[in-house]
Amino acid sequence: MSFKRKRPGDWGTLGDGFEGLDVDKPQVKRQKDRGLPGARRLYTSKNDVNDDPIEEIISWTSSEEENEDSRSQQRTASRSKKVKVSSTEKRASVRTKQEWKQSSCPEEEEVTVVCDSDDSTCNSSVDRLKMSEPVGESIEFDIECEDSRSSILTQPSESQNDTQVTCTSPCISQATSASTSQSHSPDQGGKVKASQWVKMLDLKTPTKNSQDVTFPELEDSAKKKKKYKRGGLADQLSSLKGRERSHISMVRHQQSTTPRTPQPDTGTKSLSLKILRLEPLFSLQLAHCIQEEGESLTEQLVLFLYDQSLQEGNSVQVFAPWQQIRLKHTSELVLLCSNYCITPPKDQTETMTLCQTDTRSKDSRDVVKVINGVWKCPCVSGLVFSPTTCPAHLNPGIPGLFSSKSEKDSEEGDDQLSALATIPATQSASVRTRLTKSSVLEWVDCHDPSTRLQGRVLRVFCFNTKGSPSEKRYSILIEDSHGTMCQIFCPEDAEMRFPSVLQRGEGLIHVFGGITVQCRATRDREPALFSVIDRLWSDKCVSNTGSSTPSLEESTAGSEESNSISQFHRTSAPAFCYVMKEAASEGGMVIRPIESDSSVVKERITRLAHLGREDQERVSVCCTVILSLNMSEVKDSLPRSDVRRSHRSILYVRDSSDPKYVTMTTIEGFCLPELNEMRNKTWMFRDVTYHLGKMACDKYSCVILQNTESVTSCDLDLLPINAESSVLDLYSVSGTVCGVDENSAYSWEVCDRCQQENLAQDTSSQQLVCLSCKEVVRKPQTRMKLVVFLSGTSKCDSTPVGHVTQPLPPESKVSVELLQSSIEELLPDASQTQEGYDMACVLGQKMGPLTCVVLKCKPSEVVLKEVSVDPQK
Amino acid sequence: MNPAGRKVSEVAEQLLTEVNSVYSKTGKLSDELLSALNFVFQAPLLPALDIIDNRNVTTISCPSGRKVYQVIGTSGTPYICLPSGFYCSCPAYRYSVLLKDDHLMCKHVLAIKLAEAMDLSKSQQVTDLEMTNLIKNLE
C-alpha cells in the first residue's frame, strides 16, 4: 500500500457540494487537535487558514462524550508521544475509524493519520502516522496491508497544484469516506453527479486474505434487538458491547490483513504469554500462563473467553485493553483478556532458518566463515507429501539438510538468503505445519486432514477378515483427553509399518496422522466394541475410586493425564465411538509415540472360579488349555439352534482356582494360534465375552501366551455321564464293553514323520512312500478307530461330593469313540493276530474312567468321544 | 467446584464488591467495570441489568428475619430466590448453569447480586406465614 500526498485541496467546502472550489489557488489547510480525545472525534474539514479555524467535529457515539475524562486525555497525550516515535517508521498497521489531521505551515506540512477504535475502553489499536515533508513533494510510504485496496493514498491529482487525499481502505468508516468525497471535488471543477462520484471512488468490498483464519461467529446482526431503558445500565452495556464488537471486528480484520506474527514495534501495549495449563469453565478458560518479559518469566493467571483454538502450549499475544483483578484471598492477579492473538510457536516459523553465526558482524566478517543453514526438509518445502518418506522422519537425529556457503557468497545476496529462508520455508511450513489436537471432536471439527490426533492407545485389536482368515488385520482403540473413544483401522501393511505401536503401544499416548473418519459407531451398531469400551471404562472407574474386588488385580494406568481424564469424565461410559481409517489423500497413516514406557497398564484378570460375579460382558482370564477341538468336527452334533455351530473351535480351559473346566469358543475374526500349539499351555485370554457360563473369543479378544506354568489336568473334576449331560461338555465315563460298532472299526497307516495318511506303495521297490513328505516311510504308524458300546455307565463311583446327578436310564445305548491309546489297551497284542481281531476278545472288558466329550445325549442314545486331557499324552 | 471454578467465583465476588464500591460513590458503573462484568458473567448480564433498570428485584422479608428475593423476569414470570447460593427455579438455571455449565448463575440470581451490590432492590414486608408459603412453593 502506498500513501501519496500532494498539496492539499480545499477542505473548507465540506457540506457545500463541489461548487465554488478554487482549484487553482493553493491553499494550505491545517487541522489542530483541540485537546479533545483524539480517538473519538473526527476532524473533517477546515476552511480557513486563520488562527481560529472552523472545525466540524463528528462524534461517533453518544457514550463517548460521557467518557471524556482525564484518563482519555492522558491516553491522547500518550498517543501523541507515540506519534513522534512512529513517524520515523513510516508505517501504520491499524486502520479502524480514522481521524485525519491535515495541517500545513509554510515550512513544514504535516499529515497525521490517526487510526483508532471507537471503543472508549480501548486505546490499544491506535496507530498513528505523522509525517513531515516539504510542501509540494510527493510522499509515499508503505502501510502494512496485504490487500492493495486496503491502502491510504495521497497521490498526485491532475492538477499539480492541488493536494488530493484518497482514502480507500476497506475498513474506512463512513465519515472517512465523506472526507474522501470532498477531496475529490476540486478535481472536477464543477458539479458532479453522486453516481459518478461513487464510481470514481471505486469502492469495493475488501477481499479476505485470511482463508486460514477462522473466527467464531459474532452475534446475529439481523436479530431484532431489544430496546432497553434509555440511560439505564442495560442500555449502557448494550452500546458498550456494540463498540466492543466493532473493535473486535477491526482487530480481526487487522489480523487477517497483516502478518500474524506480532509486530516488533507498533506502539501497541501487549503481553506475550505462553499457556501452560488451560481449564475450561463457564464459557471461559482459565489459563495458567508464563509471561515473557525480556528474560524474566512470571506466572500469570489469565481468563480467556472460550476459544477452541486456544491450546496448552500456545503462545498468545494479549493486547490492551485488559483488566486485572487482584484476588483478596490469594492476592493473585487475574487478567481478563478478550483481545489477543495466538502466535505460532517460534520453532515453527523461525527454526526454518538456522543462522549459526552473526552474519552482520562487520568486524568478524573477514575472519569468520559463516555457514548459513537453510532448512530443506522435503516435508517443509512441500516436495514430499508423505511424512513417512521424509528424511527427518526416517532419521530423526538429522535436523535437516544444510547447505553451506562462504560469507562472500552470502554477501552477494542477503535478500536471496532471506527469500530462501522465509518464503519457501516458512510459507510452506506454515501451511504444512501439522497441528495436533488432543480432542477427537475438535479434530473432527477442524476439517483439516493434516491435523493430527493425539490419544492414548487402549487396545490393539488383531483380527482375521472373512475373505482371508489367515491374514491378520489390526485396529487401534484410542481415547482422547476428553474421554472420547476412537477406533482406527490400520492398513494392511500395518504390521510392518507400525510394529512398535501394535506390539507395545497399549497404554501409551500416540499421535495419529493421515486418518479420516469413516463413521461413528454407536452401541446399537457395535455392541461388541462397546462391551470392550465399557470394560475399559469400568476399569478406569475402579482405579479412580480406589475400590477393588478382592479377587481382582488392580489395574492402573499411571499417568497424570489419565488421572486428570478420569477426574472429569468418568461419569458415564461413551455413547459413541468414531471409526477411522487411513486417509487416501494424506500420504498414508502416521503413528508416532510421544510417551515413553512409563505407563504400564496391568490387565485385570478374573479367575475362572469368580466368573459371573461381575456384571461385565467381557472378562480377561488366564488359564491353561487342556483340550481344543475344531468345531467342524463336532458341530454336527449340535442342534441347529446352537449358536456355537458357527464358531470355529472350542477350547476347554481351566486354572488353579477351580478344579472344573470352562469352555470357550472362538468366533470368526478371532486371531487364534494353531490349536495343537495351544494345548497344555497357559494363555491370557483378554476381553473375552462371558455369558451364562460360556466364554467366547471374538475379533476384539486377544490371546497372549503366558510364562506361568500350566495347570495339570490330573485333578480335573469331571462329572460322570448322566441323563442331564450337555453336548460338548466333558464327562467321565466308565463301563463294560458290551458291543463294538463293526462299521467303524478299522485301522490305517500314517507317515511316522508328518502323521499324514497320504501313503502310496512304490510298485518297483514295494516300499511305502509319503506323498506329503516325498520320502520313503520305513516305519509307518498304525492308526485305529473303534467305537464301543458300554454298559453299566451309571454305576460310576466318581461322582464328586455334593453333586447329585440323574443316572442314565438302563436302556440307554452309550457309544464311545475311543482314542488310539485306549484301543491299544483294549485290544490284544497285535503280533498275536494277523487277520484282525475277534470281537469276543474285547467284550466284557471294563473300561474307564475315560474322559469323553458328549456329542449326543438323548435318553435312548448317548454318543461320546474320548478325548485326552493328559498333558503327557 | 474445582479450583478453576473457585477462581472464577472469586473474580465474580471481587467484581460485585467493586460494583458496590463504585456505584455507592458515583451512582453509576463505568464502562470498564461493565466490560469486566460482561466478560465474567457473559450473556446473563444484559438481561440482569435490564431487570435492575426496571426495578424488578424485590427483597421480601418477614418479622422473623428471614429474607428471600423475588425477581420478575423479562417474560413477567416471578422467581423466588434465596439470598445465599445460586439456585433459581428458572429453566436457564437448569440448562445453562447445571446442565451445560455455561454460566456461573442465571440472570435472575445475577440481578439479585447486582441489585444487592447497588442497593437497587425494592423492599416488601410479609408475614411469617406468607414467607413460609413462599418458601414452601419453591420448586
Same domain, A649 and A539: no
| Cα separation values, A818 from A246, A540, A733, A840, Å | 91, 50, 11, 17
Highest mean pLDDT among A61-75, A84-98, A425-439, A551-565: A425-439
Kindly list the strands in the beta sheet with B67-72, ordered across the sheet, starting from the edge strand earlier in the chain.
B78-81, B67-72, B57-61, B122-125
* Higher pLDDT, residue A370 or A490: A490
The verdict on A338 touching B (C-beta cutoff 8 Å) is yes
Interface of A with B in 767-826 (CB under 8 A): none
pLDDT of residue A220: 53
Residue A695 binned pLDDT confidence (cut-offs 50, 70, 90): confident
* pLDDT tops 50 at residue A4: no
Residue A305 binned pLDDT confidence (cut-offs 50, 70, 90): confident
Q: Do B39 and A235 touch (CB under 8 A)?
A: no
Q: Is residue A197 classed exposed, middle or buried when 0-12, 13-18 and 19+ CB atoms within 10 A define those classes?
A: middle
Q: Does any domain span residue A318?
A: no
pLDDT of residue A660: 82
Of A558, A593, A628, the residue at which a domain comes to its end is A593
Residue A720 binned pLDDT confidence (cut-offs 50, 70, 90): confident
Name which of A164-173, A244-253, A255-264, A392-401 the model is least confident about.
A164-173
- Going by C-alpha positions, the residue among A226, A166, A201 that lies closest to residue A9 is A166
B48/chain A closest Cα distance in angstroms: 8
Q: Report how far residue A162's alpha carbon sits from residue A183's, in angstroms, rounded to the nearest whole number.
A: 10
Name which of A149-158, A286-295, A575-584, A828-837 the model is least confident about.
A149-158
Residues A826-831: what's their mean pLDDT?
A: 73
pLDDT of residue B61: 92
* pLDDT tops 60 at residue B118: yes
In which domain, by residue range, is A581 found?
438-593
Q: Where are the alpha helices (DSSP H) in A788-828?
A: 820-826
Q: Does any domain span residue B18?
A: no
Domain count, chain A: 6
Residue A416 binned pLDDT confidence (cut-offs 50, 70, 90): very low
- Residue B53 has its nearest CB partner, among A233, A303, A326, at A233
Q: Residue A224, CB half-sphere, CA atoms under 13 Å: how many?
A: 2
Mean pLDDT, chain A, as a whole number?
A: 64
* pLDDT tops 80 at residue A225: no
Q: Which residues pair with A6 in a beta bridge?
A: none
B47 prior amide bond cis, ω within 30 = no
* pLDDT tops 90 at residue A276: no
Q: Do A336 and B104 touch (CB under 8 A)?
A: no
Q: Does any domain span residue A411?
A: yes
Domain count, chain B: 1
Query: Which H or E run contains B112?
Result: helix B107-118
Name residue A545's amino acid.
T
Percent of chain A topping pLDDT 70: 53
Q: Does any domain span residue B65?
A: yes
Q: Is residue A630 classed exposed, middle or buried when 0-12, 13-18 and 19+ CB atoms within 10 A define those classes?
A: exposed
pLDDT of residue A124: 35
CB pairs under 8 A between A and B: 102
Backbone angles phi, psi at A441, to 5 degrees: -65, -40
* Higher pLDDT, residue B65 or A213: B65
Residues A406-427: what's their mean pLDDT?
A: 33
Q: What is the SS3 string spanning A427-449?
A: HHHHHHCCCEECCHHHHHHHCCC
- Residue A233 has its nearest CB partner, among B14, B29, B32, at B29
> Could you count the other beta carbons within 10 Å of the beta carbon of residue A861?
12
- Measured between beta carbons, the chain A residues lying within 8 angstroms of B45 are 237
Tell me the pLDDT tens digit for each residue of A33-65. 433 333 333 333 334 334 443 333 333 333 333
Taking every pair of C-alpha atoms in chain A, what is the biggest distance, in angstroms?
144
- Residue B46 has its nearest CB partner, among A238, A286, A301, at A238
The verdict on A77 touching B (C-beta cutoff 8 Å) is no
Same domain, A191 and A87: yes
Same domain, A738 and A826: yes
* pLDDT tops 60 at residue A778: yes
**CA triple A212-A214-A220, angle to 5 deg:** 150
Same domain, A566 and A442: yes
* pLDDT tops 60 at residue A214: no
Q: Are A35 and A73 in contact (CB under 8 A)?
A: yes
- Going by C-alpha positions, the residue among A522, A667, A543 that lies closest to residue A603 is A543
A377/chain B closest Cα distance in angstroms: 42
Is the full-model pTM beyond 0.80?
A: no
The verdict on A276 touching B (C-beta cutoff 8 Å) is no
- Going by C-alpha positions, the residue among B98, B127, B28 that lies closest to residue A231 is B28
Cβ contacts of residue A402 below 8 Å, gap of 6+?
A354, A371, A373, A374, A376
Name which of A52-66, A536-550, B85-99 the model is least confident about.
A52-66
Q: Are A444 and A403 in contact (CB under 8 A)?
A: no
Residues A215-233: what's their mean pLDDT?
A: 68
- Residue A121 has its nearest CB partner, among B32, B102, B103, at B32
B34/chain A closest Cα distance in angstroms: 6
- Residue B34 has its nearest CB partner, among A240, A281, A330, at A240
The verdict on A15 touching B (C-beta cutoff 8 Å) is no
Name residue A90's amino acid.
K
| Cα separation values, A415 from A349, A365, A420, A426, Å | 18, 17, 8, 15
End-to-end Cα distance, chain A? 92
The verdict on A237 touching B (C-beta cutoff 8 Å) is yes
* pLDDT tops 70 at residue A656: yes
Q: Does any domain span residue A286?
A: no
- Going by C-alpha positions, the residue among A383, A360, A350, A357 that lies closest to residue A371 is A357
Q: Report how far residue A673's alpha carbon sits from residue A663's, in angstroms, rounded to the nearest whole number.
A: 17
Q: Are A391 and A398 in contact (CB under 8 A)?
A: yes
Tell me the pLDDT tens digit for each residue of A676-688. 778 888 888 888 8
Same domain, A524 and A627: no
- Residue A282 has its nearest CB partner, among B45, B49, B102, at B102
Q: Does any domain span residue B33?
A: no
Cβ contacts of residue A378 below 8 Å, gap of 6+?
A384, A389, A390, A391
Q: Are A320 and A94 in contact (CB under 8 A)?
A: no
Of A560, A593, A626, the residue at which a domain comes to its end is A593
Q: Does any domain span residue B7?
A: no
What ipTM was assigned to the predicted interfaces of this complex?
0.92
Residue A257 binned pLDDT confidence (cut-offs 50, 70, 90): low
Tell me the pLDDT tens digit for each residue of B16-47. 888 888 888 888 888 888 888 888 888 889 99
Q: Where are the alpha helices (DSSP H) in A745-839?
A: 820-826
pLDDT of residue B1: 61
Q: Report how far residue A117's alpha carbon sits from residue A134's, in angstroms, rounded to the nearest whole number.
A: 30
The verdict on A328 touching B (C-beta cutoff 8 Å) is yes
Q: Report how far residue A80's alpha carbon sits from residue A110's, in angstroms, rounded to the nearest whole number.
A: 14
- Measured between beta carbons, the chain A residues lying within 8 angstroms of B39 are 303, 305, 323, 336, 338
Tell me the pLDDT tens digit for each residue of A326-381. 877 777 788 888 777 777 554 443 333 333 333 333 333 333 333 344 444 444 44
Buried b (16+ CB within 10 A) or exposed e, A608-626: bbbbeebebbbbbbbbbbb
Residues A27-32: what's their mean pLDDT?
A: 41
pLDDT of residue A615: 67
pLDDT of residue A748: 85
Residues A126-136: what's their mean pLDDT?
A: 37
Q: Where are the alpha helices (DSSP H) in A612-769?
A: 631-634, 675-678
Best residue of A72, A220, A237 to probe chain B, by most B CBs closer than 10 Å: A237
Residues B60-89: what's their mean pLDDT?
A: 89
* pLDDT tops 60 at residue A650: yes
Strands (E), A359-471: 372-374, 436-437, 452-464
The verdict on B21 touching A (C-beta cutoff 8 Å) is no
Tell me the pLDDT tens digit for each residue of A446-486. 777 778 888 888 888 988 877 676 778 899 999 888 888 89
* pLDDT tops 60 at residue A253: yes
pLDDT of residue B108: 92
CATH number of the CATH domain containing A800: 2.40.50
* pLDDT tops 70 at residue A175: no
A156 prior amide bond cis, ω within 30 = no
End-to-end Cα distance, chain B? 23
In which domain, by residue range, is B92 found?
42-136
Q: Report how far residue B101's alpha carbon sits from residue B95's, in angstroms, rounded to the nearest whole number.
A: 8
Q: Does any domain span residue B97?
A: yes
* Higher pLDDT, residue A157 or B110: B110
Which chain A residue's Cα is nearest to B1? A281
Same domain, A42 and A151: yes
Residue B111 binned pLDDT confidence (cut-offs 50, 70, 90): very high
pLDDT of residue B126: 92
